[in-house]
Amino acid sequence: MVVFQEQQLQDISKKFQIYGEILHAEPCKIGHINETYTATYDQGGTRVRYIHQKINQNVFKDGEAVMENLMRVTTHLRSKLVAEDARDITRRALTVIPTRSGHAFYRNDGGDFWRTFVFIEGVQTFEAVQSPGQAYQAGYAFGDFQRLLSDLPGQRLHETIPNFHNTRLRYQALQKAIETDHYNRAQVAKKDIDFALRQEPIVDVLLNALARGEVPERVTHNDTKFNNVMMDVVTGKAMCVVDLDTVMPGLAHYDFGDMVRTTTSPTVEDELDLAKVEMHLPMFEALARGYLDGAKGFLTPTERKFLAFAGKLITYTIGIRFLTDFLNGDKYFRVHRPNHNLDRCRTQLKLVESIAVQEEAMQKIVDGL
* Residues 115 and 173 grouped into a single domain: no
* Residues 221 and 358 grouped into a single domain: yes
Q: How far apart are CA 79 and CA 83, in angstroms?
A: 6
Q: Which of 238, 202, 236, 241 is CA-nearest to residue 221?
A: 241
Q: Which of 325, 346, 190 is CA-nearest to residue 270?
A: 346
Q: Which of 37, 48, 32 is CA-nearest to residue 120?
A: 48
Task: Give the CATH number, domain containing residue 273.
Answer: 3.90.1200.10
- pLDDT value of position 302: 97
By the 10 Å C-beta count (0-12 exposed, 13-18 middle, 19+ buried), 68 is classed as: middle
- pLDDT value of position 29: 65
In angstroms, the Cα distances linking 138 to 35, 143, 240, 335 are 25, 9, 10, 26
**How many H-runs (helices) and E-runs (strands) does the chain carry?**
12, 11
Residue 233 lies in a domain: yes
Q: Which of 322, 317, 312, 324 is CA-nearest to residue 361?
A: 312
Q: Which of 71, 96, 121 is the last residue of a domain?
A: 121
Domain count, the chain: 2
* Residues 51 and 178 grouped into a single domain: no
* Residues 136 and 116 grouped into a single domain: no
3-state secondary structure 130-166: CCHHHHHHHHHHHHHHHHHHCCCCCCCCCCCCCCCCC
* Residues 75 and 154 grouped into a single domain: no
Q: Which of 121, 151, 182 is the last residue of a domain?
A: 121
Rg (CA), the chain: 21
Task: Give the CATH number, domain containing residue 72.
Answer: 3.30.200.20
Residue 61 lies in a domain: yes
* Residues 94 and 215 grouped into a single domain: no
* Residues 243 and 156 grouped into a single domain: yes
Residue 126 lies in a domain: no
What is the domain range of residue 272? 132-368
- pLDDT value of position 128: 82
pLDDT tens, per residue, the chain with 369 residues: 333 467 778 888 899 999 888 998 888 866 567 889 999 999 999 999 999 999 988 889 999 999 999 999 999 999 999 999 999 999 999 999 999 999 999 999 889 999 999 999 999 999 888 899 999 999 999 999 999 999 999 999 999 999 999 999 999 999 999 999 999 999 999 999 999 999 999 999 999 999 999 999 999 999 999 999 999 999 999 999 999 999 999 999 999 999 999 999 988 899 999 999 999 999 999 999 999 999 998 999 999 999 999 999 999 999 999 999 999 999 988 899 999 999 999 999 999 999 999 999 999 999 999
Q: Which of 83, 99, 121 is the last residue of a domain?
A: 121
* Residues 51 and 184 grouped into a single domain: no
Helix then strand then coil, % of the chain, to nearest 5: 45, 15, 40
* Residues 313 and 170 grouped into a single domain: yes
* Residues 136 and 52 grouped into a single domain: no
Residue 127 lies in a domain: no
Question: Which residues on adjacent β-strands are paired with residue 220?
Answer: 248
Residue 193 lies in a domain: yes
* Residues 209 and 357 grouped into a single domain: yes
- pLDDT value of position 2: 38
Q: Tell me which amino acid residue 263 is.
A: T
- pLDDT value of position 30: 61
* Residues 177 and 304 grouped into a single domain: yes
Count how many residues are written for the chain. 369
